[in-house]
């Protein structure tokens, strides 16, 4: 019996193992085969995989928020707003470095220009953005006039944008005995941008447009045509042009570079608030310059700086130009004007005196308490003026406020442009000696 058991047990173990192996193979085949489940059939269980936590995905409340930049919010500094709108191609020329050095060697001049520009820059940048024009053009008055609205050149160009009389008339800038809109901040800016748009559309190139602004679009057009006929390039740097025009665009590029990266050049730019410096008030009646300044509660110098178009102490209502006042003084002016008119006070204290036969200017001046020289200045009288009986003279009334002081401060368009001076090297024995030649300069400005 023990021998039988020793023989049969291993045999049973082998049979059992074989049966389990067949069942395992069958089960594996069933799992691997696609399931054709009928309604109500229960699919095999899906294995559950438990992922370990990822420390990098954990949210911690103590972490600082990620800083963001809202590009739709305008910057507080007008200089930065201007930089954001720079879109004109840079000019690659050694003359740019030359002009940069020229400006950087005159830090006091730059400081005065930037300080003067604070009154006008916001308005110019605003107008450029409305038209979709490069904001570098807001720096053009630095090249033209150092942002001086009273600047007058030997070519009879006047104002911040330096319009000559003919181009000023073409762009509807009024010029008469009372005022000259080439000096008007709002009107001249609008005219300058109109002109720049026109010459850009003509040439399709901002460098050529700027050359046209200085030299004249006709002259630039002829220079381009001449190069094209010779199979030569027609870009700004390839054209033959006067020296002033050759340096014109490099000057603007130099100023742009300084404004773009003042720290690189060791320049400190005082921030300019990115808000309007001035507002405007429409009017239709004559008004004294001194009274307008008093009603706005600002110095006469500030009033004239914002309203430089007027040549006389009385601003005619027919000027079709609004008063320009510091933005924070507009409501002050309106309230004081309402109070002034409620008291039935006049808006002007100046009178018109018609010259009688036998009257002399000295006698008229003495009668109204003003010097003969000031009377001539107020009325634009010079050596070429024919003063005959019936000539209408503007004279101060008894209530005129500080008429001598006002008359001295008002801008006047010179009857004759100042003569420019050219410097040439002498051809004598002493080499390099500069000889001053008194000779009118050739000014290429055709505006």
SS3 381: coil
Q: Higher confidence at residue 29 or residue 74?
A: 74
User: Contact at 8 Å (CB) between 168 and 191?
Assistant: yes
* Alpha-carbon span 416 to 401, nearest angstrom: 30
pLDDT at 2: 52
Residue 309 φ then ψ, to 5°:
-75, -25
Q: Encoding tokens for residue 424?
A: 């040439």
Residue 420, Cβ density class (10 Å: 0-12 exposed, 13-18 middle, ≥19 buried): middle
- Rounded to the nearest integer, the mean pLDDT of the chain is 83
pLDDT at 447: 54
Average pLDDT (161-174) is 97
DSSP H or E run through 7: helix 2-32
pLDDT in tens, 320-346: 889 999 999 999 999 999 999 999 999
pLDDT at 403: 62
In the predicted structure, residue 373 carries a pLDDT above the cut 80: yes
The beta-strand segments (E) located in 73-193 are: none
Q: How many CB atoms lie within 10 A of CB 330?
A: 17
* Alpha-carbon span 284 to 442, nearest angstrom: 42
Q: Higher confidence at residue 162 or residue 424?
A: 162
Average pLDDT (307-319) is 92
Q: Higher confidence at residue 368 or residue 401?
A: 368
* Alpha helices, DSSP H, located in 313-371: 330-342, 361-367
Q: Which DSSP letter does residue 139 get?
A: G
Q: Encoding tokens for residue 125?
A: 């940048």
Q: Which residues are catalytic?
A: 144
pLDDT at 420: 39
- Please give the model's pTM, rounded to 2 decimal places: 0.76
pLDDT in tens, 45-98: 444 444 444 444 454 445 455 545 455 677 999 999 999 999 999 999 999 999
Q: How many CB atoms lie within 10 A of CB 267?
A: 16
pLDDT in tens, 119-155: 999 999 999 999 999 999 999 999 999 999 999 999 9
Q: Encoding tokens for residue 93?
A: 């020329």
Residue 126, Cβ density class (10 Å: 0-12 exposed, 13-18 middle, ≥19 buried): middle
* Alpha-carbon span 104 to 114, nearest angstrom: 13
pLDDT at 439: 31
In the predicted structure, residue 103 carries a pLDDT above the cut 80: yes
DSSP-assigned states of every residue in 172-222: T--BSSSBBTTS-HHHHHHHHHHHHHHHHHHHS-HHHHHHHHHH-HHHHHH
Helix, strand, coil shares of the chain, percent, nearest 5, are 50, 10, 45
Pair type for strands 323-326 and 350-354:
unpaired
* Alpha-carbon span 20 to 112, nearest angstrom: 102
Which residue ranges form the domains of the chain, and what is each CATH number?
Answer: 78-265 (1.10.530), 278-347 (no CATH), 350-398 (3.10.350.10)
Q: Encoding tokens for residue 395?
A: 């004279």
pLDDT at 409: 80
Q: How many CB atoms lie within 10 A of CB 446?
A: 17
């Amino acid at each position: 019996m023990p021998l039988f058991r020793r023989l049969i047990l291993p045999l049973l173990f082998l049979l059992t193992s074989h049966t389990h192996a067949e069942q395992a193979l069958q089960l594996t085949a069933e799992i691997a085969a696609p399931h054709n489940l009928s309604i109500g059939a229960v699919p095999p269980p899906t294995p559950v995989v438990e992922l370990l936590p990822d420390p990098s995905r954990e949210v911690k409340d103590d972490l600082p928020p990620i800083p963001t930049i809202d590009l739709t919010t305008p910057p507080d500094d007008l200089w930065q707003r201007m930089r954001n709108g720079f879109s004109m191609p840079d000019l690659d020329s050694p003359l740019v470095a030359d002009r940069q050095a020229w400006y950087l060697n005159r830090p006091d001049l730059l400081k005065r220009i930037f300080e003067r520009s604070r009154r006008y820059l916001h308005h110019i940048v605003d107008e450029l953005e409305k038209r979709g024009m490069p904001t570098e053009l807001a720096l053009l008055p630095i090249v033209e006039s150092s942002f001086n609205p009273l600047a007058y050149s030997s070519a009879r160009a006047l104002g911040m944008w330096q319009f000559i009389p003919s181009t000023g008339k073409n762009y509807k800038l009024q010029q008469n005995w009372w005022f000259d809109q080439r000096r008007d901040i709002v009107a001249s800016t609008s005219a300058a941008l109109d002109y720049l748009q026109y010459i850009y559309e003509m040439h399709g190139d901002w460098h050529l447009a700027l050359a046209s602004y200085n030299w004249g679009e006709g002259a630039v057009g002829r220079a381009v045509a001449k190069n094209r006929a010779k199979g030569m390039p027609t870009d700004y740097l390839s054209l033959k042009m006067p020296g002033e025009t050759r340096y014109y665009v490099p000057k603007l590029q130099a100023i742009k570079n300084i404004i773009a990266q003042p720290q690189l050049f060791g320049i400190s730019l005082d921030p300019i608030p990115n808000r309007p410096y001035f507002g405007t008030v429409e009017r239709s009646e004559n008004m004294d310059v001194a009274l307008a300044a008093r009603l706005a509660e600002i110095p006469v110098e500030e009033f004239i700086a914002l309203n430089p178009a007027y040549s006389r102490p009385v601003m005619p209502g027919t000027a079709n130009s609004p008063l320009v006042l510091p933005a924070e003084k507009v409501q002050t002016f309106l309230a004081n004007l309402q109070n002034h008119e409620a008291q039935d006070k006049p808006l002007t204290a100046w009178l018109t005196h018609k010259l009688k036969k036998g009257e002399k200017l000295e006698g008229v001046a003495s009668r109204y308490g003003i010097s003969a020289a000031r009377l001539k200045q107020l009325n634009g009288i010079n050596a070429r003026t024919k003063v005959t009986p019936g000539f209408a003279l503007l004279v101060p009334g008894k209530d005129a406020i500080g008429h001598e002081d006002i008359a001295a401060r008002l801008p006047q368009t010179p009857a004759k442009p100042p003569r420019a001076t050219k410097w040439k090297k002498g051809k004598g024995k002493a080499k390099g000696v500069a000889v001053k030649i008194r000779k009118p300069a050739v000014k290429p400005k055709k505006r």
